[in-house]
Amino acid sequence: MNLTISHRGQSYSLSLLPDDTLAVLHARLEELTSTPPQLQKLLYKGKNSKTLDDQVTLTQAGLKDGMKIQMLGTTANELDGVKAVEDDQQKRDRIMKERALKGPTKVCNNPTISSSDNLNYRFHKLIPLAHLPNPSSALDLLQRLSDDPAIRHVMQKHKFVVGVLTELAPHEHPELLGLNENAGQQIKLRLRTDRYDGFRTYKEVRRVLCHELTHNVWGDHDNNFKELNSLLNREVGEYEASVKAGTNVLGYSGEVYEQSESGSRSHGSHVLGGSGSDAILLLNDSTEDRRRRALEAAERRLRQEEEEMENSCGTAGRSAVAE
């Protein structure tokens, strides 16, 4: 029986006997991909190997000669990396507790972020996917997200801890833009375009990151989730507005958050395209009316963007609460 297994963009051809068990197949795949059998998930013809006993034969499992199988799974090295992050987090927690028992320590006066917050409320490890093109550029983008002052601000304010920040491969998860595993143990973001000819815009990726950070607290896309997600995006905007106005103590001079390009295109024509009687009405409107209309348009745009993101988020299903 000849089988073709696809895993992270690579194909593996295996020749097995029909009476071989799934355990034999899993062992062969571990040799090829370094993915332990218990972490392998084989998808084929609407079936999932996780629901089957590993002692059933390949024929009993519904596998046939020439069949193509998609395998999902985490390698042993990646598991070791996550465990190292968790061990490091436990070590830091222990040090913080020991320091707390010793009483207050005199530190430099910093009105923004304490040293203990810097140690805890952050991304503890950045991992690009080495099997994808140009991993160094992906790491640069992950580092930029990790160092983004506005993201650091909301993480410290809401005490968000993320073990690993990494990326999603478009060909492996074409329907997803982001995924939060185990409330912050690992966040995965779609950094690349579908054709691997570049990277998605920074503003779009960062907005998905805010969405996935919200899953550190709320799992489902319910009203609690929507309120916190809106708050995070608002705090990012307010933080960068203060930077732009020169009132932020960090003195950050980078990009200021703006709506996504798609959002701008879809709603800009309605704001700027008035003519005739509509234009006269706009001229006669008060400043308060214009502000109200702009706010309503912004809220509609944000709702639309959030709905699109919820449908592309792997952490929870589609929104459980109707708009």
Q: Would you put residue 313 in left (φ > 0), alpha (ψ -120 to 50) or beta?
A: beta
Q: How far is CA 196 from the centre of its chain?
A: 18
* Residues present in the chain in total: 323
Say what angle helices 202-214 and 135-147 make with each other, to 10 degrees.
60
Are the beta carbons of 179 and 310 closer than 8 angstroms? no
| Exposure string over 37-71, b if 16+ CB within 10 A, otherwise e | beebebebeeeebeeeebeeebeebebeeeeebeb
**Known catalytic residue at 212:** yes
Strand-pairing partners, residue 178, are: 189, 313
* CA quadruple 91, 114, 185, 227: dihedral sign: positive
107 three-state secondary structure: coil
Beta-carbon count within 10 A of 256 CB = 16
Catalytic residue among 204, 212, 240, 305: 212
* Stretch (H or E) spanning 293: helix 287-311
Sign for the CA dihedral angle at 89, 148, 210, 133 comes to negative
DSSP state of 257: P
CA pair distance 213, 257, nearest whole angstrom: 17
Q: Answer whether 144's CB lies under 8 Å from 128's CB.
A: no
The three-point CA angle 315-319-320 to 5° equals: 110
- Residues annotated catalytic, as ranges: 212
